[in-house]
Chains A and B, each alone.
Chain A
Amino acid sequence: MMKLAPSLGSLFVLACTLGLSGPPSAVASASAVAARIQEPASSAQQYGCLICHADKRRAFQLGVHSDRGVQCHDCHGGNPESFEATQAHGGNFRGSFGKLESLEVCASCHGDPDQMRQYGLPADQIAEIRTSRHGQLLLDDRNFDAPTCSDCHDPHTTLRADDARSGVHPINISATCANCHDDESLMAPYGIPTGQVAEHRHSAHGVALYEDQNFAAPTCIGCHGSHAALPPGVGEISNVCGRCHVNVRRAFDLGPHGRLEGGEAPLGCTGCHSNHDTERVATDRLAQTCEGCHEAGGSETTLGDEVQQVLLRAENEMERANEALHELVRGGHEVSDERFRLRAALTEFRNLETMQHTLDLERMEDVARLIASASLDIRGKAEVSAEEKWEHKLLLFPVWFFALGIVFLAGYRLRRLRVETPDDQRTS
């Protein structure tokens, strides 16, 4: 070991020069990072930690921190220049972190706007965590049931949120939350129910996310926030949903439910659509949904029934128009104009779906009439096409008349020939 020391020392100097190793620095320069990506990673001969912790090296190299020039000692402290465990683990070395220490270590970089600016990352996560229920429990109450950074973000293989392997990728984040929120024993003391993740998976949002791979669909953090996670208050629900469903929220505010104030207000969107198992209210169950709050047979449920009828009629018109368009396509017709009209009708139909939240029956009827008009035009062309096809079949009358006539005459002649020429009677 002693003989190796001079050569290792020179290698270390060289490594420092290349930016592969060297004194702890919070963030390597851009050129150093580029060099690190291009060149082989530090070996155990250059970086003492790797002599014993080669397994961690592999995990760490998969994460973004390795690409950014962060090294073991940047978080764990100690002396990476030493190849002796005792010396390497000396000084300010911390092998594992408590929850609060974890926050502190991460915040040393992620709370520094000067360091985060170049990556376009916010530097206020720690401040956000303080406002969250998790942060309140951890920081104020010193309750270590609450998560810290490393509970959601793998501390060594830290991946970008848009990396599908990351625990905070839209596809995975609900499972990450479920690590704690599906644990009944952990949630029981706080009176928090479990099973939200399963409910979300089957909700309209979950179907959009997991089946349609629509990563814009909200996961847990879409409504609750991530670092500042808190359940929205009753009065906040419409605002939370309205961040994505802007037009629906506007329509809702114009309607009688949106105009209700204070204690009179229903549970906003969740009153009809639920929260975690968010579902579309089927058009034919609209009036039934009203009966959840309003008296059956009352003026409110009657209005709900009328709204339902308008929507059902429009839905039916759309289906018939779509079917007619397909028939036209199959018949070989050029349908760009009809397709355009159907698209316009679909836009109006989406508008109508939004408009139902206003419960403004008169305006809804106007929009439904536009849809019916477009549908009628498309169906009219399809009917003309169907009539043409029917007329084509009329051709069969003269065709079969002549064909059977020829068959009859030729058959008669053939029969006469057989009678007249007995020698040929053997022929078939």
Chain B
Amino acid sequence: MWLGQIGGDLRQSTDASLLSSLRFLGLLYGPIDRKLPIDQALRKAWARRLPSHVGWRHSFGGIAYLLFMMLVVTGVLLSFYYRPSVDEAYPSLQYISTEVPFGWLVRDFHVWSANLIVLAIMAHMARVFFLGAYRPPRETSWLVGVLLLFIVLAFGGTGYLLPWDQWAYWTTTEVMNVVRQTPIVGGAISGLLVGDVFVSGATLSRFFALHVIILPWAAFGLLVLHFVVVRRHGAAPPRGYVETQDPGTPFYPHQLLRIVIVSALVLALTLSLAAMFPRPIGDPATPFETPEGLVSSWIVVDVSLGLIRTLGVWGFVGFSLLGLLLVILPLVDRDTETSLRRKPLVLSVGLLFFLGFLAFWAVGRKIDAVPPSAGIESRILDERAIPAPGEAGVDGSEDSETRQEP
């Protein structure tokens, strides 16, 4: 009774402009009528009609956003227990995985969301690219979208080190070695990120700060900008679409029901992957000893290792440059009339990037060895005869043949 009274009072008295915050967060598509009470303003915004070509295939962007929000939620939960220091990171990870109620679920949900979000973003980008939707007037939306991809990659890259186990440590070491060899800027970037002569506590602190403070703010800023420009220009129409003849479909309930269906399936899938294929934990990180094998738990690591081992440093740098080329694509290709099929060069760049991503993902999954180059620090430290903490088992061996799902 009194709850209903409170609800009624809130509906009558709350300013509808509060709903604007939901618009900025991408949770509300239509414009807000600030003259109406909040509940009526919400219903009016929901009744906004979308072009009828907006359907299931537009789900990938929403899936990526859903996974991003899940990453934020699970990340906050993990931060209650995670301790970003060399001595405590690994034990805190063990504590989360085995002692905290449902800690294992939160952690593995976080890991799997980080994988699925990359696939969702790539699928979203591929749809936009092959529809030619990156061209004017939607070039800002494309540019911001590609930047968001890089932000997500940076999230994963910095988060990958945080478990502070051998696999995380040596994968980061290998990738940082490659970054260091990048001409001109490599040394500076690597020095800034690593903060030491080799991956150490300084690196862990920097990666943690990037992961939980700097990148989230950057991501939210870009997301808001992305939603603003998407609303400004709307979804790109298919060729031959005549807007005046399209009555459209209301967001509520049609599109909302689709969102509910997709969200339920994505969350169930992520939970299933988390329960079926938990990310294994390696031995505690030590710079004194290379592991006998690497177990990758992130798609982008597989792609990076695939590039580095098959094409070398230049392969990795070249593929990254190809990604950067996608950013400036709208500046090069501004022809909104011609189909991509008649633009073989642009089409090739896109195919090379998206198919290359899939191909090197497959190649990277087959690689689990640490290259000798990654062990340079280990050998240097060995020569200094510093005692090595932590070992795998009694015989120091690690099962390098069994490769588990991330």
Q: Which B-chain residue is minimally distant from A393 (CB atoms)? A: B275
Residue of A332, A392, A404, A417 touching B105 (CB-CB under 8 A): A392
Rounded to whole angstroms, the CA-CA distance of A404 and B253 in the bound complex is 19
Of B116-124, B309-317, B393-401, the one contacting chain A is B393-401
| CB of A426 within 8 Å of the partner chain | yes
Mask of A345-362 contacts with B, CB within 8 angstroms, 1/0 = 010000000000000000
Residue of A326, A423, A426 touching B398 (CB-CB under 8 A): A326
Whole-angstrom distance from the CB of B91 to the nearest CB of chain A?
A: 7
* A410 and B268 form a contact (CB under 8 A): no
User: Which residues does chain B contribute within 8 Å of A423, judged by CB atoms?
Assistant: 247
Instruction: Kindly identify, within residues 209 to 260 of chain B, every residue whose CB is under 8 Å from any CB belonging to chain A.
Output: 247, 249, 253-254, 257-258, 260
| CB of A413 within 8 Å of the partner chain | yes
Rounded to whole angstroms, the CA-CA distance of A343 and B249 in the bound complex is 69
Query: A332 with B55: in contact, given A343-B394, A396-B271, A403-B268 (CB under 8 Å)?
Result: no
Residue of B257, B272, B395 touching A322 (CB-CB under 8 A): B395
Query: A400 with B272: in contact, given A334-B98, A413-B253 (CB under 8 Å)?
Result: yes
User: Which residues does chain B contribute within 8 Å of A389, judged by CB atoms?
Assistant: 278
Residues of A that sit less than 8 Å from B by CB: 322-323, 325-326, 329-334, 339, 342-343, 346, 389, 392-393, 395-396, 399-400, 402-404, 406-407, 410-411, 413-414, 417, 423-424, 426-428
21 chain-A/chain-B pairs, Cβ below 8 angstroms = A325-B394, A329-B393, A330-B280, A331-B278, A331-B281, A332-B96, A334-B94, A389-B278, A392-B105, A393-B275, A399-B271, A400-B272, A402-B268, A407-B261, A414-B253, A414-B254, A417-B257, A424-B52, A424-B254, A427-B55, A427-B254
* B98 and A332 form a contact (CB under 8 A): yes
Whole-angstrom distance from the CB of B56 to the nearest CB of chain A?
A: 5
Whole-angstrom distance from the CB of B334 to the nearest CB of chain A?
A: 30
Whole-angstrom distance from the CB of B169 to the nearest CB of chain A?
A: 15
Q: Which B-chain residue is minimally distant from A392 (CB atoms)? A: B275
User: Which residues does chain B contribute within 8 Å of A346, judged by CB atoms?
Assistant: 394
Query: A417 with B394: in contact, given A330-B281, A395-B271 (CB under 8 Å)?
Result: no
Whole-angstrom distance from the CB of A345 to the nearest CB of chain B?
A: 8
**Lowest 7 A-B CB distances belong to which pairs?**
A428-B55, A332-B97, A403-B268, A330-B280, A406-B264, A403-B264, A410-B257
Rounded to whole angstroms, the CA-CA distance of A410 and B255 in the bound complex is 11
* A331 and B257 form a contact (CB under 8 A): no
* A414 and B258 form a contact (CB under 8 A): yes
* B104 and A329 form a contact (CB under 8 A): no
* B52 and A331 form a contact (CB under 8 A): no
Rounded to whole angstroms, the CA-CA distance of A414 and B258 in the bound complex is 8
Whole-angstrom distance from the CB of A55 to the nearest CB of chain B?
A: 34
Rounded to whole angstroms, the CA-CA distance of A404 and B272 in the bound complex is 13
* B94 and A427 form a contact (CB under 8 A): no
User: Which residues does chain B contribute within 8 Å of A333, judged by CB atoms?
Assistant: 94, 97-98
Whole-angstrom distance from the CB of B97 to the nearest CB of chain A?
A: 3
* A426 and B272 form a contact (CB under 8 A): no
| CB of B324 within 8 Å of the partner chain | no
Whole-angstrom distance from the CB of B266 to the nearest CB of chain A?
A: 9
| CB of B10 within 8 Å of the partner chain | no
Whole-angstrom distance from the CB of A9 to the nearest CB of chain B?
A: 50
User: Which residues does chain B contribute within 8 Å of A343, judged by CB atoms?
Assistant: 394
User: Which residues does chain A contribute within 8 Å of B280, judged by CB atoms?
Assistant: 330-331
* A407 and B56 form a contact (CB under 8 A): no
Query: A400 with B268: in contact, given A330-B280, A332-B97, A393-B276 (CB under 8 Å)?
Result: yes
| CB of B392 within 8 Å of the partner chain | yes
* B260 and A410 form a contact (CB under 8 A): yes
Whole-angstrom distance from the CB of A416 to the nearest CB of chain B?
A: 10
| CB of B305 within 8 Å of the partner chain | no
Mask of B72-96 contacts with A, CB within 8 angstroms, 1/0 = 0000000000000000000101101
Q: Which B-chain residue is minimally distant from A345 (CB atoms)? A: B394
Rounded to whole angstroms, the CA-CA distance of A403 and B392 in the bound complex is 40
Query: Which among B52, B257, B281 has the highest number of chain A CB atoms within 10 Å?
Result: B257
Q: Which A-chain residue is minimally distant from B247 (CB atoms)? A: A423
Instruction: Kindly identify, within residues 127 to 184 of chain B, every residue whose CB is under 8 Å from any CB belonging to chain A.
Output: none
Residues of B that sit less than 8 Å from A by CB: 52, 55-57, 91, 93-94, 96-98, 104-105, 247, 249, 253-254, 257-258, 260-261, 264-265, 267-268, 271-272, 275-276, 278, 280-283, 391-395, 397-399, 404
User: Which residues does chain B contribute within 8 Å of A428, judged by CB atoms?
Assistant: 55-57
Whole-angstrom distance from the CB of A28 to the nearest CB of chain B?
A: 33
Residue of B57, B98, B247 touching A331 (CB-CB under 8 A): B98
Whole-angstrom distance from the CB of A3 to the nearest CB of chain B?
A: 55
Rounded to whole angstroms, the CA-CA distance of A323 and B395 in the bound complex is 11
* B261 and A406 form a contact (CB under 8 A): yes
* A406 and B94 form a contact (CB under 8 A): no
Residue of A325, A332, A427 touching B281 (CB-CB under 8 A): A332
User: Which residues does chain B contribute within 8 Å of A330, judged by CB atoms?
Assistant: 280-282, 404
* B278 and A403 form a contact (CB under 8 A): no
User: Which residues does chain A contribute within 8 Å of B404, judged by CB atoms?
Assistant: 330
* B253 and A417 form a contact (CB under 8 A): yes
User: Which residues does chain A contribute within 8 Å of B98, judged by CB atoms?
Assistant: 331-334
User: Which residues does chain B contribute within 8 Å of A417, judged by CB atoms?
Assistant: 253-254, 257
Residue of A339, A395, A407 touching B265 (CB-CB under 8 A): A407
Query: A342 with B52: in contact, given A332-B281, A406-B261 (CB under 8 Å)?
Result: no
Rounded to whole angstroms, the CA-CA distance of A259 and B261 in the bound complex is 82
User: Which residues does chain A contribute within 8 Å of B56, judged by CB atoms?
Assistant: 428
User: Which residues does chain A contribute within 8 Å of B394, judged by CB atoms?
Assistant: 322, 325, 339, 342-343, 346
Q: Which B-chain residue is minimally distant from A411 (CB atoms)? A: B261
Q: Which A-chain residue is minimally distant from B263 (CB atoms)? A: A406
Q: Which A-chain residue is minimally distant from B165 (CB atoms)? A: A329
Rounded to whole angstroms, the CA-CA distance of A342 and B265 in the bound complex is 45
Rounded to whole angstroms, the CA-CA distance of A331 and B253 in the bound complex is 44
Rounded to whole angstroms, the CA-CA distance of A414 and B249 in the bound complex is 12
Whole-angstrom distance from the CB of A320 to the nearest CB of chain B?
A: 12
Rounded to whole angstroms, the CA-CA distance of A393 and B392 in the bound complex is 27
User: Which residues does chain B contribute within 8 Å of A399, judged by CB atoms?
Assistant: 268, 271-272
Whole-angstrom distance from the CB of A261 to the nearest CB of chain B?
A: 40
Rounded to whole angstroms, the CA-CA distance of A392 and B271 in the bound complex is 10
Rounded to whole angstroms, the CA-CA distance of A205 and B278 in the bound complex is 43
* A396 and B267 form a contact (CB under 8 A): no
User: Which residues does chain B contribute within 8 Å of A392, judged by CB atoms?
Assistant: 104-105, 275, 278
User: Which residues does chain A contribute within 8 Å of B271, judged by CB atoms?
Assistant: 395-396, 399
* A331 and B272 form a contact (CB under 8 A): no
Whole-angstrom distance from the CB of A120 to the nearest CB of chain B?
A: 23
Whole-angstrom distance from the CB of B406 to the nearest CB of chain A?
A: 13
* A427 and B267 form a contact (CB under 8 A): no
Rounded to whole angstroms, the CA-CA distance of A185 and B346 in the bound complex is 76
Whole-angstrom distance from the CB of B164 to the nearest CB of chain A?
A: 12
User: Which residues does chain B contribute within 8 Å of A339, judged by CB atoms?
Assistant: 391, 393-394
* A332 and B104 form a contact (CB under 8 A): yes
User: Which residues does chain B contribute within 8 Å of A411, judged by CB atoms?
Assistant: 257, 261
* A406 and B260 form a contact (CB under 8 A): yes
Query: A334 with B392: in contact, given A410-B261, A414-B257, A428-B56 (CB under 8 Å)?
Result: no
Rounded to whole angstroms, the CA-CA distance of A276 and B363 in the bound complex is 46
